[in-house]
């Protein structure tokens, strides 16, 4: 069996996984992010011990611990070079977990792990060139190319969220302007709408959120757009055009046979992806999207656990 771990900024998910990819036990706890890297490292050690004890198993029963984490991973050393949401730099996670548990440990970027998990266990490797796009508060991307997870030369490839859709566009938290994420990430979209409410915009959205700007989320923006709210129609249209252009770009560059959409914004909206796909089809070269399948992620949070536990160290 294997253990998959997904370290997020707010929660850590852990799963015990059979060699055939069944998650047989799960745990989820709040991340002790305020204790810094040493605190979270100790939390992981405790979670592994608890999971093994619950399963009546020992370290020698586990072939691998796979850990997914946002940020840039140095695969040669298993160090997390930089994790923006945990604010870690050069964290020697592989070394520390192996020392603490005696179990071989592998570290992977969370979106890479999620893309690999969906591809292998959700889609049974049915495509050989796959783009995973996860739209939540931000936008994450993962690439399967020629049937393998593609990491680029230094392990940091696939950063679709920080490709540029307009060099003079919206400010992104990465420091640049006009990133895919700055146009299509849920937190960015919501922030733009909230600002307009704060500036006095009143319309159907205002009624839907009952006058609380803090209650704005993408699902409610869609609801108001469908009711004809002017602000939401404007902002929704912009997101759709930029998302469609971003999809067209990656289709023209990669010529994938499958795009998998996941993340909270994808789950929380009905029409966003469909409308953006119409833009993509209008814009993309016909040959680039011939035979292209579009699917929603099938495994939810398990994709990341499974991907971390099984992704190959190539």
Nearer to its own copies, 172 or 208 (CB): 172
Check if the beta carbon of residue 297 is closer than 8 Å to that of residue 261.
yes
Helix or strand holding residue 277 (H, E):
helix 272-283
Residue 163 found at the interface with its own copies (CB under 8 A): yes
Q: Is the dihedral of CA 192, 198, 200, 203 positive or negative?
A: positive
CA distances to 22, 66, 68, 79, 107 from 313, rounded to whole Å, are 21, 11, 13, 14, 9
Q: Which one, 137 or 255, has the nearer CB to its own copies?
A: 255
Q: What's the min distance (Å) between Cβ of 79 and its own copies?
A: 12
The neighbouring-strand residues paired with 178 are none
Binding of its own copies at residue 165 (CB under 8 A)?
yes
The residues with which 28 forms a beta bridge, in sequence order, are 13
Give the residue carrying structure tokens 């994709």: 303
Distance CA 267, CA 95 (A): 36
CB nearer to its own copies: pick between 114 and 178 = 178
Name the helix (H) or strand (E) containing 88.
Answer: strand 88-91
Size of the site for its own copies (CB under 8 A): 54
Q: Which is nearer to its own copies, 10 or 146 (CB)?
A: 146
* Binding flag, residue 79, its own copies (CB under 8 A): no
Question: Is residue 71 helix, strand or coil?
Answer: coil
Q: Which of residues 190-219 bind its own copies (CB under 8 A)?
A: none
Q: Are 257 and 129 in contact (CB under 8 A)?
A: yes
Task: Choose the stretch contacting its own copies; rule: CB under 8 A; options: 6-14, 51-59, 241-249, 297-305.
Answer: 241-249
Q: Which of 43, 248, 269, 304 binds its own copies (CB under 8 A)?
A: 248
Candidate residues 114, 132, 141, 186; the one interacting with its own copies per rule CB under 8 A? 141
Per CB under 8 A, which region of 196-204, 222-230, 253-261, 268-276 contacts its own copies?
253-261
For residue 23, the Cα-to-chain-centroid distance in whole angstroms is 20
Looking up tokens 């939540």, which residue turns up? 136
Please pick, from the candidates 31, 85, 164, 187, the single residue that binds its own copies as defined by CB under 8 A.
164
* Residue 76 touches its own copies, criterion: CB under 8 A: no
Query: Cα separation of 196 and 106, whole Å?
Result: 45
Q: How is 29-79 classified by DSSP, letter by letter? A: EE--GGGHHHHHHHHHHHHHHHHHHHHT--GGG--EEEEEESSEEETTTTE
CA distance 269 to 37: 35
Binding-residue pattern over the window 281 to 300 for its own copies, x denoting contact by CB under 8 A: --x-x-xx-xxx--------
Upper half-sphere CA count for residue 230 (Cβ side, 13 Å): 5
| Shortest reach from residue 101's CB to its own copies, in Å | 28
Is 151 a residue that touches its own copies (CB under 8 A)? yes
Q: Does residue 154 belong to the site contacting its own copies (CB under 8 A)?
A: yes
Q: Which stretch binds its own copies (CB under 8 A): 30-38, 117-125, 161-169, 205-213?
A: 161-169
Residues at the interface with its own copies (CB under 8 A): 72, 81-82, 127-129, 141, 143, 145-146, 148, 150-160, 162-169, 174, 176, 178, 241-242, 244-246, 248-250, 252-257, 283, 285, 287-288, 290-292
């Amino acid at each position: 069996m294997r253990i998959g771990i997904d370290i997020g900024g707010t929660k850590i998910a852990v799963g015990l996984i059979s060699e055939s990819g069944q998650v047989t036990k799960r745990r989820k706890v709040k991340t002790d992010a305020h204790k810094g890297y040493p605190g979270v490292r100790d939390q992981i050690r405790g979670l592994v011990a608890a999971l093994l004890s619950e399963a009546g198993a020992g370290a020698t029963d586990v072939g691998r611990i796979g850990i997914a984490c946002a940020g840039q991973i140095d695969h040669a050393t298993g160090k997390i070079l930089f994790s923006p949401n945990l604010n870690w730099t050069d964290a020697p996670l592989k070394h520390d977990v192996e020392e603490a548990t005696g179990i071989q440990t592998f570290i992977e970027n969370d979106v890479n792990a999620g893309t690999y998990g969906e591809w292998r266990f959700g889609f049974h490797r049915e495509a050989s060139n796959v783009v995973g796009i996860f739209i939540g508060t931000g936008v994450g991307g993962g690439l399967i190319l020629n049937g393998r997870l593609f990491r680029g030369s230094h392990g940091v490839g696939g950063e679709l969220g920080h490709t540029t859709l307009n060099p003079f566009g919206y400010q992104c938290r990465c420091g640049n302007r006009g990133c895919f994420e700055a146009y299509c990430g849920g937190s960015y979209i919501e922030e733009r709408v909230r600002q307009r409410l704060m500036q006095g915009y009143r319309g159907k959205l205002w009624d839907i959120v009952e006058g609380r700007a803090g209650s704005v989320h993408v699902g409610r923006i869609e609801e108001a757009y469908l009711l004809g709210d002017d602000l939401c129609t404007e902002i929704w249209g912009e997101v759709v055009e930029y998302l469609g252009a971003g999809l067209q770009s990656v289709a023209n560059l990669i010529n994938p046979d499958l795009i998998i959409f996941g993340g909270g914004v994808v789950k929380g909206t009905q029409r966003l992806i469909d409308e953006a796909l119409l833009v993509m089809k209008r814009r993309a070269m016909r040959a680039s999207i011939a035979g292209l399948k579009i699917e929603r992620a099938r495994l939810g949070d398990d994709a990341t656990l499974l991907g971390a536990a099984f992704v190959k160290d190539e």
